[in-house]
Amino acid sequence: MNRYLLEIGCEELPSQSINIGREYLQQSFHKSFENFFMYDTPQNINIFATPRRLSVLLENLKEKEDSKEELIIGPPYKVAVDNEGRFTKAAIGFAKKNNIPIENLQKIETEKGVYIGAVIKKEGKPLQEHIKQAVPSIISNIPFPKTMRWNRTNFRFSRPIRWIVSLLNEDIIDIEIAGIKSSRYTYLHRFMTKPIGRGEKKEIATPTRYEEILKLGFIVPRYEDRKKAVETQVIGFANSIDASPILDEELLDEVTNLLEFPVGILGDFSPEYLILPKEVIIVVCKHHQRFFNFEKDGKLIPKFLAFSNTAVKDKNVVKAGYEKVLKARLEDALFFYEEDLKKNLEDLYPKLKGILFHEKLGTMLDKVKRNGIIAQIIAKTLKMKQKSDINRANKLSKTDLLTEMVKEFDELQGIMGMYYALKQGEKEEVAKAIYEHYLPKTAEDPLPKTKIGTILAVADKLDTLTAFFSIGEKPKAGADPFGLRRLALGIVRILVENKLDINLEKILEQTIEQVKLPNIDKTLKDQVLDFINARFVFYLKNKGIDTDIINSVLSTKEPNLYRAYLKIQAVSDLKHNPEFEDIMITFKRIGNIIPSDFKENFDKKYLTKKEEKNLYQKLLKTEKEVLKLLEEKEYKKALEKLLELKPHVDRFFDNVMVMVKENRIKTNRLSLLKRINDLFKKLSDFTKINVQGGK
């Protein structure tokens, strides 16, 4: 069994580059070396990633790939063999080119026709040869967001490469990247081993010693181990001061990637800064210092936890340095806060014309006005009576962009608007809506809780989508610079999870009609609607709902996403019914028997058989009850009521011939079935559901 170690040593990598490197190396080495592993196990590939190194340890490797037989297809048979059964020049040339004895050529039948070809034995590539070919290519193709050149080789990497370790068992495998040749030497912690600044140069005898050597050199090489060490220290320090840690996953990831040897240092800041909104202090600590905060009973306490990359003898010196830097940042924040409170948000509203939203879509003032129109359209649909409060919240919604605090800490937009509005005596729901109209910012973010915030959040996102689509700025396969997919998903989540019972198609129609946009064409509404629906499908699939169920409901063109979601849930629940397959067969039969171009023409006087008369009477009663349940959004009950038709439909098909010669009777019977099918289609098109559990 062979082991291979690769270490790319470099100057400190950015946090994002470390995450990208880890994921890419895992995928690429698995794909590139899969034929060399003796068996499939997670232990085959070990990834190590710190600010100064990206490393891979491969285990369970064979000396070479297994030999395999491969079918090579040549020219068409009629070109390769003449009328007398002899090989032509085309066949002889093919055999010579592929080093195949002419007598080994054979007739091969394929889907595309008859060809000649041969089965050849392909020798497996030796492991050493594959390493030399594959590794430089993998390293050069890591998709870092930003790269740099630092020497004459013009090789690009996230940061300059300083050393390379490449060992197959005890032997160095020669590779060269960016002018750096591989060796068996790594470098340990740059401040806890000597020489200070670079770290001790350490020989690695075999790949099995790698992780142990790094740990003895004050390096925790595995990302998962460092993350656990950071998290454990945050929780431990919190327990020591009888507080709760504010464990932010993004901050946890970033701090993990900034360190090779995490050492927590507990610090203090003056309680006088607690006059600042909680979010301000957290943002200052997180985004500008990478510090963790603590709270008691939901209130911030004047302590923080910083992480050093070095264990020092006197932590107080380092602590004092952290406290000094944080004090300066908090002092700035307090100054901005006090200065902002001297201004009135309403006075900032007209100044929004000085902020460009987009060169083709006007200023932020133009956007706020558009948002207000859409918000009132939605409010009217929902029969809300808070027109003046909606207008007030919308008017103030973007004004904090002009405050000093948000200019300095843009992460606080909306949050500061809420606090300033409360300080200036605005209604609580109006103030909260200023913050909530940005929600959700991510797929995991909380949703708006107030009615006004909910409406403004949908209006703001709907305007942005419609506006950018109107100027042709749509997301491409690999690029979404304006975050339109995220906004569309936000609309979906709000409509579904906040149970907004609105017809999105009508809202869009009124929006396009009333809002002034630079370029409106006939397809704009459908473009935006289709885009949002695509995010709706994405949302549903992430919830584990079967694709055929989703398609069966969405094909009915339900324009209300909340209602569509309830229908999908009802139909999905039906799949768990033990009689589901039998039920589907019956009702799919109805949908399948009706011609696509059929024109309904029903008259009860043409009902001649007892079974069709009984079905019609049952339909009349069911129809009335189902329509009432649909209006009340009781879709599960409506579906259960529809299923009561099944025995009557079964008796109809067992005893009544639909496709009879008498055209009027046939049309009448098809019309009766179509009426049933149309009633079902108010919930779902059952012809699109797989009866054997397929998706």
Q: Is residue 548 part of a domain?
A: no
531 pLDDT higher than 80: yes
511 shares a domain with 371: yes
530 shares a domain with 635: no
Backbone angles phi, psi at 245, to 5 degrees: -80, 145
192 shares a domain with 164: yes
117 shares a domain with 42: no
Q: Print the domain residue range for 206.
A: 2-64+126-216
449 shares a domain with 495: yes
Q: Answer with the one of 305, 322, 340 that is the final residue of a domain.
A: 340
- The CA-atom distances, in angstroms, between 81 and each of 76, 303, 469 are 9, 86, 59
CA 186 from chain centre, in angstroms, equals: 37
What band does 692 get if pLDDT is binned at 50, 70 and 90?
Answer: low
Q: Is residue 16 part of a domain?
A: yes
694 pLDDT higher than 70: no
Q: Which residues contact 76 (CB under 8 A, 6 or more apart)?
A: 113, 114, 115, 116
Tokens of residue 317, six digits: 């010196």
528 shares a domain with 454: yes
Nearest in space to 650 (alpha carbons), one of 592, 593, 583: 583
695 pLDDT higher than 60: no
Average pLDDT, the chain: 94
15 shares a domain with 52: yes
274 shares a domain with 139: no
Q: Answer with the one of 543, 578, 601 that is the final residue of a domain.
A: 543
Q: What is the pLDDT of residues 471-529, one digit of tens each?
A: 999 998 878 999 999 999 999 999 999 999 999 999 999 999 999 887 788 899 999 99
Q: Is residue 553 part of a domain?
A: no
Q: Is residue 550 part of a domain?
A: no
356 shares a domain with 314: no
Long-range contacts of 171-174 (CB under 8 A, 24+ apart): 173/4, 173/128, 173/131, 173/132, 174/132
Q: Answer with the one of 311, 340, 369 that is the final residue of a domain.
A: 340
Pairwise CA distance, residues 75 & 117, whole Å: 8
The alpha carbon torsion through 552, 554, 557, 560 (nearest 10 deg) reads 130
User: How many structural domains is the chain composed of?
Assistant: 5
CATH number of the domain residue 405 falls in:
1.10.3210
Largest CA distance in the chain: 102
Q: Is residue 422 part of a domain?
A: yes
pLDDT value of position 479: 87
Q: What is the pLDDT of residues 347-385, one digit of tens each?
A: 999 999 999 999 999 999 999 999 999 999 999 999 998
CA 117 from chain centre, in angstroms, equals: 46
643 pLDDT higher than 50: yes
Q: Is residue 587 part of a domain?
A: yes
693 pLDDT higher than 70: no
226 pLDDT higher than 70: yes
629 shares a domain with 587: yes
Q: How many CB atoms lie within 10 A of CB 314?
A: 8
CATH number of the domain residue 626 falls in:
1.10.730
Long-range contacts of 292-299 (CB under 8 A, 24+ apart): 292/234, 292/245, 292/246, 292/247, 292/248, 292/251, 292/255, 293/245, 293/246, 294/237, 294/238, 294/241, 294/243, 294/244, 294/245, 294/246, 295/243, 295/244, 295/246, 296/242, 296/243, 296/244
Pairwise CA distance, residues 409 & 288, whole Å: 9
Tokens of residue 9, six digits: 């040593």
375 shares a domain with 314: no
150 shares a domain with 102: no
- In this prediction, residues 152-174 reach a mean pLDDT of 96
Pairwise CA distance, residues 435 & 397, whole Å: 8
DSSP for 304-358, written as a single string = EEEEESS--S-HHHHHHHHHHHHHHHHHHHHHHHHHHTTS-HHHHGGGGGGSEEE
